Structure 1
Amino acid sequence: MFRDEDLALLNRPLYAFLTVAPRGERWPSPRPVWFEVTADGDLQMFSTPGAPKVARLREQPRASVVVAAPTGEPEYWVAVEGPVTLHDDGGPELAARLAERYWGTLDADQRQLIDEWRTTGLVRIVLRPSAVNRYTV
């Protein structure tokens, strides 16, 4: 579903803004997350098991993400929506891999945080694209 120019954007260490279905009368509230594109073309992220977004995804397993080029570059964004699956395996490994992508060389505090993630456990969130929209100037 992704074009080459989409993948060029999505493979950069940019934040994805994840939106899940809100509860009750609340408005949708996107959250910035780290992510990666898998070899199968899915997007995967991670979260703590007790996070409200994980609870909402258990109730309604669908989400959307938007990734945009930073200010100062030609305008380009990719929006992805689709069903979500939650996985108890692979979360800490994904988090460690993404920490290197987003932080680069890890300092002692960052390594300690990754160790905490390994011991407390993380949920791996996998979004399988059912629709991809994009805009470019």
Structure 2
Amino acid sequence: MTNTLTADDVEFLRRPLHGFLTVAAGPIPPQPRPVWFEATAEGTIQLFTAPDSLKVRHLRRDPRASIVVAAPAGERERWLSVAGRTTVTPDGAHDLCARLAARYWDLDDPARADELAGMLAGEWVRVVVHPETVRRYGP
């Protein structure tokens, strides 16, 4: 257990995997939600969401969250868990949305490109998880 991401962690997190986000002020038992995410050069994890989403309302009451990312079935077991305080900001949310869509979708597909255009017309915020605890398992 550490409080920082290693180079191997960042390499793993650059894959188009889903993360499962849990917020501290949420329901009991916690109910993780799948999210697209990005590991940053600063060692944080960021994602985007609607400014009026339930997760943002919970984070405004209690800024703690965790995200768990696991290798897909068929691969050797590997997972990474990052927990820490979050910040919520509109800055950079649309750019992040566009980057993640390009990572997770084939934007040469006109249907996906149209879906992204619709998303970019909406309002988004960027949620940044600042690691306080990093746990990992696997190679």
Give the superposition deviation at 1:50. 1.6
CA-atom RMSD in angstroms? 1.5
* Letter of the structure 1 residue corresponding to residue 123 of structure 2: G
Q: Secondary structure at the match of 1:75?
A: coil
TM-score by length of structure 1 reads 0.91
Question: Which ranges of structure 1 fall in alignment gaps of 5 or more residues?
Answer: none
Q: Is the 8 A contact 2:25 2:59 kept in 1?
A: no
Aligned to 2:117: 115
Q: Secondary structure at the match of 1:2?
A: coil
| 1:87-106 correspondence runs (5 A) | 87-106=89-108
Q: Secondary structure at the match of 2:20?
A: strand
Aligned to 1:11: 14
What are the superposed Cα offsets for residues 59-89 of structure 1, whole Å, 9 maximum, x if unpaired? 1111000001111111111000000000112
For residues 97 and 57 of structure 1, the distance between their equivalents in structure 2, rounded to whole angstroms, comes to 24
For residues 91 and 10 of structure 2, the distance between their equivalents in structure 1, rounded to whole angstroms, comes to 25
> How many pairs are equivalent?
136
| 1:9-88 correspondence runs (5 A) | 9-23=12-26, 26-88=28-90
What are the superposed Cα offsets for residues 98-135 of structure 1, whole Å, 9 maximum, x if unpaired? 00101133422322222222222101000110110011
Question: Which ranges of structure 2 fall in alignment gaps of 5 or more residues?
Answer: none
Runs of 4+ in structure 1 over 6 Å off: none
For residues 115 and 4 of structure 1, the distance between their equivalents in structure 2, rounded to whole angstroms, comes to 33
For residues 58 and 106 of structure 1, the distance between their equivalents in structure 2, rounded to whole angstroms, comes to 37
Q: Is the 8 A contact 2:51 2:125 kept in 1?
A: yes
Q: Is the 8 A contact 1:2 1:132 kept in 2?
A: yes
For residues 12 and 119 of structure 1, the distance between their equivalents in structure 2, rounded to whole angstroms, comes to 26
Give the superposition deviation at 1:2. 1.6
Of residues 106-115 and 77-86 in structure 1, the stretch that sits farther from structure 2 once superposed is 106-115
For residues 6 and 92 of structure 2, the distance between their equivalents in structure 1, rounded to whole angstroms, comes to 27
Identity %: 46
For residues 71 and 58 of structure 2, the distance between their equivalents in structure 1, rounded to whole angstroms, comes to 28
Q: Is the 8 A contact 1:14 1:34 kept in 2?
A: yes
For residues 106 and 92 of structure 1, the distance between their equivalents in structure 2, rounded to whole angstroms, comes to 19
Q: Is the 8 A contact 2:89 2:126 kept in 1?
A: yes
